[in-house]
Amino acid sequence: MTLEERIDLAETRVCTTVFPFLTNHHDTLFGGKAMAIMDEVSFMAATRFCRKRLVTVSSDKINFEKAIPSGSIIEAIARVDSVGRTSLKVKVEIYLEHMYEEGRELAIQGMFTFVALGDDKKPISVTEGLNII
């Protein structure tokens, strides 16, 4: 399998409805909840890519481009963006869909970096053992 094919297979999409337990006092998606969703969906994509134990080591700039109102549907899409020796970066986008309108728009985007750890909790190669051609 090529690197690009493995990245395609690992792409992860998670949809959720923005119910009140996710919102702030503006009645829009709370930024901290959005970041938790992004961390989790990017973690799933990274894990599916390398099938190793991962920890989040950093998040790059997260852009909140559009407020997401309560009662919307959101879709978080995570895709491996680059692969290092022991780390990999995952791009995450959150799309906003209004329930009773067609179409969707990009609302939030960011990048998360994960490091693969061995049994001794030290970084290990993310690609070791993968049959990438």
Q: Could you list the residues that contact ligand COA (CB under 6 A)?
A: 55-58, 84-87, 113, 115, 117, 123
Smaller CB distance to ligand COA: residue 28 or 113? 113
Smaller CB distance to ligand COA: residue 58 or 63? 58
CA dist 104 and 17 (Å) reads 14
CB atoms within 10 A of CB 112: 26
CB of 130 to ligand COA, least distance (A): 14
* Ramachandran region, residue 122 (left: φ > 0; alpha: ψ -120 to 50; beta: rest): beta
Residue nearest to ligand COA (CB): 84
Smaller CB distance to ligand COA: residue 40 or 75? 40
Place of tokens 């959720």: 16
CB of 68 to ligand COA, least distance (A): 25
| Rg of the chain (C-alpha set) | 16
At residue 50, the 3 state secondary structure works out as helix
Smaller CB distance to ligand COA: residue 94 or 126? 126
